Amino acid sequence: MKIKWLFLFLLPVLLMIGGCYNLMMGRRADGSPRVSVGFVEDEHKNLVHRRSGMVFPEHVAGFARDFTYIYDSHGSDVSVRYNLSEPVECFLDVYVYPAYGELEKHAAETMSTIEAHHENARLISETAISHDHAGTSHTGVGLTHRYRAKLKNGEQPVESKTWLFVYSEWFLQYRMTYPESAAAEIEPLLTVFRNRLAWP
């Protein structure tokens, strides 16, 4: 996870030197879907993660799909960015990657990584969360941090939520960042997003 967060900070440089697997999925000139080591685009313009089968529609609960990243050469470790402009600004990343250990230990690692990359980050809460899928309730870990960061309107206090789950052989991580002042307004929309983005 430390490598993943470092990757995001170094993104502009990596894009210039061509050292990353950034994928801007679209369609070829003849209208046929694009494919990559990580994703394939179906006939409905959904992106399907080839390894896990996770489907990422163009729009989910008002959030618009933006770009994807592939963090390994096999396409197993990926993320998809969604953005929300109204009623408040929020960017949301969904990460899918192999589950390599216990959820609680991974949550602690994720917490440390966030706090290492945001010197002023404060952990506000760490709670057990649940998600219902196909009639089964899955327990996860929810983290909430607050710190200062740049959004479209400049640097400001932000709140950042992280939801971590294990599903089958995969970690599913949702990371959402938005103005701290809009926390009460955005939280119900985040829950709707999670409920509408179907698991494989």
pLDDT in tens, 104-118: 999 999 999 999 999
pLDDT confidence of residue 29: 45
pTM of the complete model = 0.84
Instruction: Identify the structural domains of the chain with CATH numbers, from first to last.
Output: 2-196 (3.40.1000.10)
pLDDT confidence of residue 36: 75
Q: Is the pLDDT of residue 86 over 50?
A: yes
How far apart, in whole angstroms, are the C-alpha atoms of residue 130 and residue 123?
A: 20
pLDDT in tens, 89-100: 999 999 999 999
pLDDT in tens, 65-79: 999 999 999 999 999
Task: Tell me the backbone φ, ψ of residue 139, rounded to 5 degrees.
Answer: -90, 135
185 Cβ neighbours under 8 A, 6+ residues apart: 87, 88
pLDDT confidence of residue 27: 44
- Contacts of residues 180-189 at CB distance under 8 Å and 24 or more positions apart, as own/partner, are 180/146, 180/156, 181/157, 182/88, 182/89, 182/90, 183/159, 185/87, 185/88, 186/84, 186/88, 186/90, 189/61, 189/62, 189/84, 189/90
